[in-house]
Structure formats: C-alpha cells, structure tokens
Chains A and B, each alone.
Chain A
C-alpha cells in the first residue's frame, strides 16, 4: 500500500523558514518523480514544486521560485521542501504526491501558517 506522510508544518512568522518532509513507503520511491502541492484555506489546488526520480531536475512555481527548495533522499525514501522567506500568502495545507505527470497518490497534508 502506498503511503505518504508529511511532517514539519506549523506556525511561523513572516520571513521565517520551515522544512517539510514526506516519508514514502509501499512503492519504489527512487524511480518516481515527486511533487509538492498546496491548498490555501478555502481555495483550489496549486502546484508548488517537482523533482525527478534521481533529483537531477527540479521545477518551481513562479510564486515560490528563489524561496523554496525541493530535494529528496532516495536512501531514506524521503522528500523535502525547504521554505525560506515565508509570506502570509504561503499559508496552506502542503501535500506531497507521487507523480506520473498526474498525481496518483497524495499524503494527508501538513498545515503551514505564516502569521505574526
């Protein structure tokens, strides 16, 4: 059974940093691209960042480029999202997802709140 478990969310002040993790199990993590997505309260889904299976290529939404960094550790089946210079508009539930272009499995999400 595919499982994705996000952690690392919480309350942070504007300008602060957080590092999200996504622990994967139940599939061959190292052969799949992975993606972070988010959903602001009451809003739709937003693609944030993606990384290829080897970690050799990354992509970012314009709204987070230069502030967020995606990475992965295939030896530990874990995906990361380093979020710096956080803004109020980054407040959202963050999901990691197994990726085949579309997102076939999602984690349960972790809430990030940026507020003073």
Chain B
C-alpha cells in the first residue's frame, strides 16, 4: 500500500498571502496524484488531478506541481473561501490512498 503523508498538519496564513502544502508518497505514484478541498459538513471537491491539471471551474490561484514521490499544492493569494482542509490522493496503485489532510486556517 502506498502511504501518503501530508505536511504541515495545520498551516496558518493571512488572506492575500501564499500557501504551500506538501504531499509525499511512500513510493513513486508517477504523477497520478489528485488534490481535494473539503469544508466542514461538505463533500470533498476535486481541485487538481494528474499532479498539475486544474479541474473544471477551479480558479487559477490553485496550482499543483511535483513528480515521483513529492507533490505540492500552492494557493497563490488566499481568499476567505479557501480556508479548508486539503487532502492528496494517489491513483497509481491499489488500494487508492489519501493523505491525512492539511488544515489551512486563517492567521
């Protein structure tokens, strides 16, 4: 099983600033990596797939990068609606696995 590890667990950032979240896989997932945003009481929403492709309707301030075992989600200028939990997921092998999530909170 591919273990996904996210860091930091919590990130405190001021609106308008940049946020960078990391996701590390225990083995290469060959860019088969997705990012999701989840707000309290809501279902997750797909942000990024194939490590760097934005899903339909996702603002350009969200970007993904990385390869192999190391991936990054960057939010260039935080808006109030961006404060949420972000999770990465690999779909290179079975079972599909998620990171434990990173909470982005207002500083």
A residues sitting closer than 8 Å to B (CB atoms) are 35, 44-47, 50, 59, 61-62, 95, 100-109
**Chain A residues positioned under 8 Å from B36 (CB to CB):** 45, 103
Cβ-closest 5 pairs across A and B: A101-B91, A102-B34, A106-B43, A47-B96, A102-B49
The answer to whether B100 touches A59, judged by C-beta atoms less than 8 angstroms apart, is no
B52 interface residue per 8 A CB criterion: no
- Rounded to whole angstroms, the CA-CA distance of A63 and B45 in the bound complex is 25
Nearest Cβ on chain A to B78's Cβ, whole angstroms: 22
> Given A45-B44, A45-B89, A109-B43: A103 and B34 within 8 A (CB)?
yes
> Which residue of the partner chain A has the closest CB to B99?
A44
- A108 in contact with B87 (CB, 8 Å): no
Closest to B101 in A: A44
Contacts of B97 in A (CB 8 A): 47
A62 to B49, CA, bound (A): 25
A102→B50 CA distance, assembly (Å): 9
Main secondary structure on chain A at its contact with chain B?
Answer: strand
CA distance in complex: A62, B55 (Å): 30
Give residues in B with beta carbon < 8 Å to A.
32, 34, 36, 38, 42-46, 49, 55, 87, 89, 91, 94-101
* CB-based contact A107/B94 at 8 Å: no
| Nearest-CB residue, chain B, relative to A62 | B95
CB–CB B46/A103 < 8 A? yes
Question: How far apart sit A107 and B42, CA to CA, in the bound complex (Å)?
Answer: 9
On whether the beta carbons of B46 and A44 are closer than 8 Å, the reply is no
* Complex contact A104–B55 (CB within 8 A): yes
- Given known A102-B34, A102-B89, contact A44–B44 (CB-CB < 8 A): no
Known: A44-B87, A45-B87, A45-B89. A106 touches B44 (CB 8 A): yes
Looking at B89, B95, B96, the one whose CB has the most chain A CB atoms below 10 A away is B96
Q: Which residue of chain B lies nearest to A102 when distances are taken between CB atoms in the complex?
A: B34
Cα A115 to Cα B39 with chains together (Å): 27
The interface residues of chain A lying within 8 Å CB-to-CB of B100 are 44
